[in-house]
Chains A and B, each alone.
Chain A
Amino acid sequence: MSALQAALLLVGLTALATGLMIGSVITRKLRRDRREWISRFGRDRVRDAVLAGDGDVIRQAAARACDEGLAQVDFAVALDGLTADLTPDARAALDEAVCELGLHDALVAQLRSRNPVDRGRAILLLGELGLPEAEDELPALLSDPDPDVRLAACAELSRLGSRPAADALIVALTAEKLPAERIIERLGERWAVPALIDALSTEDLGEPPTPSPEAGPDWRAHLARAIGVAADPRAEPLLIAMLESPATEERVAAARALASSGTALCMEPLIVALDDPAWEVRAQAAKSLGRRGDERAVPQLERSLGHEAWWVRSNAADALAEIGSAGVEALKRTLSDPDRFARDRAREALALHHLVEA
Chain B
Amino acid sequence: MEETIRQILFDFNVFMLAYFVSIDGIYLLLVGIGWRAVNDYVGRRPLRDYRHVGRSPLSMPVSILVPAYNEGPVIVSSVRSLLSSQFGQLEVVVINDGSTDDTLDALKEAFDLVKVDRVPRANLPCEPITAVYVSPENQRIVVLDKANGGKADSLNAGIRFARYPLFCAIDADTMLDPGALARLVWEFQASPATVAVGGIVRIVNGSNVDGDGKLVEVRTPRQMLINLQIMEYLRAFLGGRIGWSRLGMLLIISGAFGLFRRDVVVEAGGYDTTTVGEDAELVLRLHRHQRDRKRPCRITFFPDPICWTEAPADLRTLARQRDRWQRGLIEMMIRHPGMVGRPRYGGVGMIALPYFILFELLGPVIELVGYAAYISAIAVGAISFPFAIAMLVFGVLFGLLISFSVLLMEERAFRRYPGWRDLRRLVGAAVIENLGYRQLNTLFRVRAFWTLWRSAGWGEMSRVGLKAGDVAEAGEVAEA
Chain A interfacial positions (CB closer than 8 Å to B) = 3-4, 7-8, 10-11, 14-15, 17-18, 21-22, 24-26, 28-29, 32, 69, 73, 76-77, 116-117, 120-121, 123-124, 147-149, 151-152, 155, 179, 181-182, 184-185, 188, 225, 229, 310, 344-345, 348, 351-354, 358
Contacts and interface: CB of A to CB of B under 8 A. Distances in A.
A348 B391 contact: no
Given A7-B387, A148-B190, A352-B136, A121 B400 contact: no
B41 to A, nearest CB: 10
Given A14-B398, A155-B52, A181-B58, 8 more contacts: A4-B390, A11-B393, A11-B397, A14-B397, A26-B423, A28-B412, A151-B49, A229-B58
Contact of B47 (A24, A148, A182, A358): A148
B116 interface: yes
A11, A18, A25 — most chain B CB neighbours (10 Å): A25
Contact of A21 (B48, B192, B408): B408
Contacts of B407: 25
28 contacts: A3-B387, A4-B384, A4-B386, A7-B391, A8-B390, A11-B393, A14-B394, A15-B393, A21-B400, A21-B401, A25-B427, A29-B420, A116-B44, A148-B47, A148-B190, A151-B49, A152-B49, A179-B189, A181-B58, A181-B189, A184-B58, A185-B58, A188-B58, A348-B116, A351-B136, A352-B134, A352-B139, A354-B136
A169 to B, nearest CB: 14
A29 B47 contact: no
Contacts of A124: 46-47
B411 A22 contact: no
Contact of B423 (A25, A149, A229): A25
A2 to B, nearest CB: 9
A21 B58 contact: no
Interface residues of B, number: 46
Interface in B45-65: 46-49, 52, 56-60
B192 A179 contact: yes
Contacts of A188: 58
B411 A14 contact: no
B368 interface: no
Contacts of B401: 14, 17-18, 21
Contact of B44 (A11, A148, A348): A148
Nearest to B42: A117
A348 B411 contact: no
A151 B394 contact: no
Contacts of A117: 40, 43-44, 47
Nearest to A15: B397
Contacts of A24: 404, 408
A3 B401 CA distance: 23
Given A7-B387, A354-B136, A155 B427 contact: no
B191 interface: yes
Contact of A29 (B46, B56, B136, B411): B411
A321 to B, nearest CB: 10
B415 interface: yes
A302 to B, nearest CB: 19
Interface in B32-91: 40, 43-44, 46-49, 52, 56-60
A10 B420 contact: no
B109 interface: no
B114 interface: yes
A24 B408 CA distance: 7
Contacts of A152: 47-49
Interface string B387-420: 1001101100110110011011001100100001
B394 A7 contact: yes
A73 B42 CA distance: 12
B292 interface: no
A24 B136 CA distance: 55
B3 interface: no
A8 to B, nearest CB: 6
Contacts of B44: 116-117, 120, 148
A76 B387 contact: no
Contact of B57 (A3, A121, A151, A185): A185
B117 interface: yes
A171 to B, nearest CB: 19
Contacts of A155: 49, 52
Contacts of A21: 400-401, 404-405, 408
Q: Which 3 pairs of residues, A with B, have the shortest CB-CB distance? A: A117-B43, A7-B390, A120-B47
B189 A11 contact: no
B115 interface: yes
A28 B38 CA distance: 15
A58 B395 CA distance: 54
B119 interface: yes
A229 B57 contact: yes
A11 B393 CA distance: 7
A147 B298 CA distance: 15
A206 B428 CA distance: 67
A358 B135 CA distance: 12
A149 to B, nearest CB: 7
Nearest to B119: A310
Contacts of A3: 387
Nearest to B415: A32
Contacts of B394: 7, 10-11, 14
B415 to A, nearest CB: 6
